[in-house]
């Protein structure tokens, strides 16, 4: 195998017992010893680096009773070519159709701060025509002394807000210990910028039996290629979990550059590049890139012009009192105006 070859096989195993695995390895000419080409991500999901895998090899592997599915990547990746279902473009969640002419807008507070405030903001988002509601209940905070969300109680308020407005809810899952809880209640699992590099967690999220779709945010010091590799871990997880659809969309949320007059630098070039490299929908987060509310509408429009399919935006009923990211949260009136312009 040549160094740096991008060819690989993905094997989904029916039977991941040690003896079945050894038989499958034998078909590939691999013994019991360690082999750097073989990587077992889960009992039922293996990737194998393999230069130019042939159809004969695929058939041979498939005919083994332990093997359920064989994908020959031939230089492609799951993020560039999802097996079988590429024409299935069903909405990611109810009301979130990234193929629609209208940009998908997910809006709400940075963090859920209380029941009545959450319901008030939810109504504001629904009335302005938002497609989904955001709100953090498990917050990644840079300082351990900052407010980090209301946890399960906050999630209950989000669920109530969904009941009130009919909007699907999007919230971050920060740690594997929260995954079952968040996957039970949220419509979309947000994977934050800081977790983009947690590859084992990405796989676990994709494989979760509830099969909830996820929103993966670009790490603020990650390249586009690294974002796509992170997406690949999630998508391999989806295969392991037996989920038919990719169930993933990406978010460009600004990267760290030398420029410090904005909180992060929204990488506008990432939108057309990602459009070329992946079938996954891509949205923008103008709030965290801007860091201040007066810049948000301009960045939102710029992202759409560059090819974004939607927006994750922080909006609050009384943003000056917000417990988290107050400076960048939109006031109700500005949010409404931005919505009508985005939709115009
Ligand atoms: C957020 O959207 O609430 C958030 C914490 O964003 P990021 O992970 O991009 O910093
Ligand atoms: Mn925030």
- Render each residue's pLDDT in the chain as its tens digit; 344 residues: 344 457 999 999 998 899 999 999 999 999 888 999 999 999 999 999 999 999 999 999 999 999 999 999 989 999 999 997 654 567 888 889 999 999 999 999 999 999 999 999 999 999 999 999 999 999 999 999 999 999 999 999 999 999 999 999 999 999 999 999 999 999 999 999 999 999 999 999 999 999 999 999 999 999 999 999 999 999 999 999 999 999 999 999 999 999 999 999 999 999 999 999 999 999 999 999 999 999 999 999 999 999 999 999 999 999 999 999 999 999 999 999 999 999 87
- For residues 252 and 262, is the Cβ–Cβ distance under 8 A? no
Terminal Cα distance for the chain, rounded: 54
Query: In this predicted structure, what is the pLDDT of residue 88?
Result: 59
DSSP, collapsed to helix, strand or coil, labels residue 223 as coil
Reduce the DSSP state of residue 294 to 3 states and report it.
helix
Note the Cα 146 to chain centre separation in Å. Answer: 25
Ligand nearest to the CA of 264: 1
Dihedral angle sign, alpha carbons of residues 17, 23, 27, 29: positive
What pLDDT shows up at residue 85? 61
For residue 251, which ligand has an atom nearest its CA?
Answer: 1
Contact 222, 257 (CB under 8 A): no
Other Cβ atoms within 10 Å of 26 Cβ, number: 12
Non-local (6+) Cβ contacts of 224 within 8 A are 218, 267, 270, 273, 274, 277
Ligand 1 nearest atom to the CA of residue 190, by list position: 2
**Token pair in block for residue 39:** 């990587």
Give kind and range of the element (H or E) at residue 310. strand 310-314
Is the distance from CB of 266 to CB of 289 less than 8 angstroms?
Answer: yes
CA dihedral 176, 216, 229, 28 (to 10 degrees): 50
Q: CB under 6 Å to ligand 1: residues?
A: 110, 136, 140, 172, 192-194, 217, 253, 285, 288
Give the distance (Å) from ligand 1 centre to CA of residue 10.
32
- Helix H, strand E, coil C: the string for 62-82 is HCCCCEEEEEECCCCCCCCCC
Ligand nearest to the CA of 312: 1
What value does the CA radius of gyration of the chain take, rounded to a whole number of Å?
21
Tokens at 86, concatenated: 């590429």
Q: Do 179 and 195 form a contact (C-beta atoms < 8 A)?
A: no
Antiparallel, parallel or unpaired: β 67-72 and 104-108: unpaired
> What's the confidence (pLDDT) of residue 46?
98
Cα angle: 129, vertex 135, 140; to 5 degrees: 145
Please choose, from the candidates 257, 238, 258, the residue with its C-alpha nearest in 3D space to the C-alpha of residue 247.
238
> Ligand 1 pocket check: which of 136, 214, 266, 330 to mutate, most ligand atoms within 8 Å of Cβ?
136
Do the Cβ atoms of 193 and 219 come closer than 8 Å?
yes
276 Cα: distance to centroid of ligand 1 (angstroms): 25
CA 193 to ligand 1: nearest atom: 8
How many helices (H) does the chain have, and how many strands (E)?
Answer: 11, 12
Residue 313 CA to ligand 2 centre (angstroms): 9
How far, in Å, is the centroid of ligand 2 from the Cα of 212? 22
């Amino acid at each position: 195998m040549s160094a740096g070859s991008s060819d690989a096989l993905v094997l989904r195993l029916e039977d991941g017992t040690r003896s079945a695995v050894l038989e499958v390895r034998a078909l590939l000419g691999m013994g019991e010893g360690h082999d750097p080409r073989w990587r077992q991500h889960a009992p039922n999901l293996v990737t194998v680096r393999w230069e130019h895998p042939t159809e004969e090899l695929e058939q041979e592997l498939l005919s083994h009773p332990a093997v359920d599915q064989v994908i020959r990547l031939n230089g492609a990746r799951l993020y560039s070519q999802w097996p079988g279902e590429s024409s299935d473009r069903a909405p990611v969640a109810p009301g979130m159709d990234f193929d629609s002419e209208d940009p998908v807008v997910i809006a709400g507070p940075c963090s859920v701060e209380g029941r009545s405030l959450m319901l008030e903001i939810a109504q504001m988002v629904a009335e302005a025509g938002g497609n989904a509601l955001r709100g953090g209940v498990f917050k990644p905070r840079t300082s351990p002394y900052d407010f980090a969300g209301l946890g399960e109680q906050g999630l209950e308020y989000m669920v109530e807000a969904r009941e009130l407005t009919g909007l699907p809810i999007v919230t971050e899952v920060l740690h594997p210990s929260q995954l079952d809880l968040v996957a039970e209640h949220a419509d979309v699992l947000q994977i934050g910028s800081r977790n983009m590099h947690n590859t084992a967690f990405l796989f676990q999220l994709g494989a979760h039996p509830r099969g909830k779709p996820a929103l993966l945010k670009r790490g603020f010091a990650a390249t586009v290629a690294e974002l796509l590799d992170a997406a690949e871990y999630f998508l391999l997880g989806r295969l392991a979990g037996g989920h038919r659809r990719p169930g993933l969309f990406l978010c460009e949320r600004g990267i760290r550059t030398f420029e410090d007059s904005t909180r992060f630098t929204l990488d506008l070039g990432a939108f057309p590049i990602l459009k070329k490299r992946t079938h996954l929908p891509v949205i923008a987060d103008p709030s965290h890139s801007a860091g201040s509310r007066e810049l948000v509408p301009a960045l939102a429009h710029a992202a759409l012009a560059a090819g974004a399919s939607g927006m994750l935006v922080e909006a609050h009923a009384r943003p000056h009192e917000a417990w988290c990211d107050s400076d960048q949260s939109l006031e109700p009136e500005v949010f409404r105006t931005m919505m009508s312009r985005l939709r115009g």
